[in-house]
Amino acid sequence: MTNTPRPDDWQPAATIETLRQRARLLATIRAFFTARDVLEVETPVLGHAGSTDPHLDSLSLEATTPDGRERLWLQTSPEFHMKRLLAAGAGPIFQLAHSFRDGEVGRRHNLEFTMLEWYRPGFSLDELIDECGALIRAVLPGDPGPLRQRRYRDLFRDHLDVDPFQSPLAGLRQLAGESGGLPMDDADRNGCLDLLMSFVIEPRLGRDGIEVVVDYPASQAALARRRIDPEDGAEVAARFEIYHRGIELANGYDELTDAAEQAMRFAEDNRQRTALGKPAVDVDRRLVAALQHGMPAGSGVALGVDRLIQLALDKESIAEVMAFPTPRC
Amino acid sequence: MANYSTNEFKGGLKVMLDGDPCNILENEFVKPGKGQAFNRVKLRNLITGRVWERTFKSGESLEGADVMDLDMEYVYTDGDMWHFMKTDGSFEQYAVDKKAIGDVEKWLKEQAVYTVTLWNDNAIAVSPPNFLELEVVETDPGLKGDTAQGGSKPATLSSGAVVRVPLFINQGEVLKVDTRSGEYVSRA
């Protein structure tokens, strides 16, 4: 489908005043990290590998390089390059990085967006969660309210009266189907949980504070370590997500540092992609090599800057805080 | 017709859903932090006029609907069907049944131009022009002197619609009426 031009769509979506406020908030973010001795880095948006995450679609292009015509991938986040810097001994680092996710356009999504990603070698998840809270407070104009952690499992019990780990799949499918208004008879457990999370639970999160969801199902670990929950013995992912006013702001991990496990997850992701009818993605052998060399244990987080600015400036959509969102680019 | 994937959904796109042609009103992309994406879509069923909210897994697709809006002049009714004629000089006529005419029946005026929605070349809906000039065929006698404020009364128009009009309006006068709100605008 063509993008039909309109006579006024040369103009920015955000007002110039909004862009001034945006620039001030970006300066606030940089000052926050400078004060904490976290180094700002810049890594390429193009790489030889893409994200294998089955639910992310990377964009790629062909370029002429010293090695001839090659396929290069636009990053879905700066994670891989930044982890190679960690393995090289960079210490704590942050980046404001343009990232790209195919097909993601909406009130809270834009094909190209700004990701704030930072890594804290030696930090536990709890320490990083507290730092996220401090950053969000520094950027938002008013008091966002208290920060509290909620276990994934408890959220499902409280909001839906089901156990996401143990309830029979048939019941979850029915509940997800009813909540979303679509047939979920062939959905797997994660598909059902994703729907219930985004349609029922998410909109209610962070209504009176900063809400941090922790202890995700082990099957939703992505690049986080897995660990045994001391409370109930279930295997969970050492991962968190931060919500404020119903909007997901950040996603953090106790980072996986095991090279063999990383290579296995890449392969497993690509198997899942093939099963979903999606193209396989070139895996990052340099990241695996960096992990083999050794990356310091620690935590890292990615935060959607456009969403945080949208909240700070009290706008309805991220397009209102961007100069040229995808439909106008 | 072509198939459209969720990432091509946008306002105004006509698609088939449950066997009926629908017009997409809104498409919202919903995705949990890490996980499967969904599209929450609002569509108007063009047969019933009802608005549906449906959720699709991102990447699913719907068949496009062969739906067209054409300008046509109202010609006459034979009692069962209402006949409209294209305004492009072809004199081609389309018969519209009671279901497709619906409430618009009371806003029909010969030679006025309507928007007729065709699906697979059959008329499924008719929308009247926003404003129509119609004659008052029945109302209580006008009150002299009462030209400015206060009071209204029902008046039956030549098309069959009944609208509230100011007290000074008389039978036989031609009025300009807003068909969307069903309100009197002015004397024509």
Give, in words, the CATH class of B67-127. Answer: mainly beta
Cβ <8 Å between A181 and B31: no
Written as one string, the DSSP assignment of A119-181 is EEET--HHHHHHHHHHHHHHHSSS----EEEEEHHHHHHHHHS--TTTS-HHHHHHHHHHHHT
**Nearest neighbour of A199 by CB, restricted to B7, B10, B30:** B30
| Average pLDDT, rounded, for chain A | 94
Tell me the per-residue pLDDT of A143-188, one tens digit each, with 9 for 90 and over: 999 999 999 999 999 999 999 999 999 999 999 999 988 889 988 9
CATH superfamily placement of domain B131-187: Nucleic acid-binding proteins (2.40.50.140)
In a domain, A157, yes or no: no
In a domain, A113, yes or no: yes
Q: How far apart are CA A4 and CA B26, in angstroms?
A: 17
Residue B146 clears pLDDT 70, i.e. is over it: no
Cβ <8 Å between A190 and B28: no
Q: Which residues of B touch A53 (CB under 8 A)?
A: 34
* Residue ranges covered by each domain of chain B: 3-63, 67-127, 131-187
Q: What is the largest CA-CA distance in chain A?
A: 61
Same topology, domains B67-127 and B131-187? Answer is yes
Does A326 touch chain B if contact means CB atoms closer than 8 Å? Answer: no
Residue A317's closest CA among A252, A247, A224? A247
Per-residue pLDDT band for A4 (boundaries 50, 70, 90) equals low
Our CA-based measurement puts residue A202 at a distance from the nearest CA of chain B, in whole angstroms, of 8
For A31, list phi and psi in degrees, rounded to 5: -65, -35
Q: Which residues of B touch A199 (CB under 8 A)?
A: 30, 38, 40, 55
Residue A116 clears pLDDT 50, i.e. is over it: yes
Evaluate whether A114 touches A96 at the Cβ level (below 8 Å): yes
Three-class secondary structure of residue A34 per DSSP: helix
Measured CA to CA in angstroms, residue B128 lies from A235, B23, B103, B122, B179 at distances of 63, 18, 10, 18, 7
Evaluate whether B95 touches B76 at the Cβ level (below 8 Å): no
**Nearest neighbour of B32 by CB, restricted to A103, A180, A197:** A197
Q: What pLDDT is recorded for position B166?
A: 92
Structure tokens at A224: 């986080």
CATH number at residue A301: 3.30.930.10
Percentage, residues of chain A above pLDDT 70: 98
Our CA-based measurement puts residue B52 at a distance from the nearest CA of chain A, in whole angstroms, of 10
Mean pLDDT of A2-27: 89
**Nearest neighbour of B34 by CB, restricted to A103, A182, A222:** A222
For A194, list phi and psi in degrees, rounded to 5: -60, -45
Our CA-based measurement puts residue A96 at a distance from the nearest CA of chain B, in whole angstroms, of 19
For chain A, the domain total comes to 1
Mean pLDDT of A301-308: 98
One-letter identity of residue B157: L
Q: What pLDDT is recorded for position A1?
A: 43
pTM assigned to the model? 0.81
Q: What pLDDT is recorded for position B148?
A: 58
In a domain, A99, yes or no: yes
Q: Greater confidence, A223 or A12? A: A12
Tell me the per-residue pLDDT of B85-99, one tens digit each, with 9 for 90 and over: 999 989 999 999 998
Which of A194, A247, A253 is the mutation pick for testing B, counting most B CBs within 10 A?
Answer: A194
Terminal CA-CA length for chain B? 45
Specify whether domain B3-63 bears CATH 3.40.50.12160.
no
Domain residue limits at A104: 16-146+208-328
Three-class secondary structure of residue B122 per DSSP: strand
Tell me the per-residue pLDDT of B8-41, one tens digit each, with 9 for 90 and over: 898 889 999 999 999 999 998 988 777 888 999 9
Cβ <8 Å between B30 and A104: no
Tell me the per-residue pLDDT of A27-47, one tens digit each, with 9 for 90 and over: 999 999 999 999 999 999 999
Percentage, residues of chain A above pLDDT 90: 86
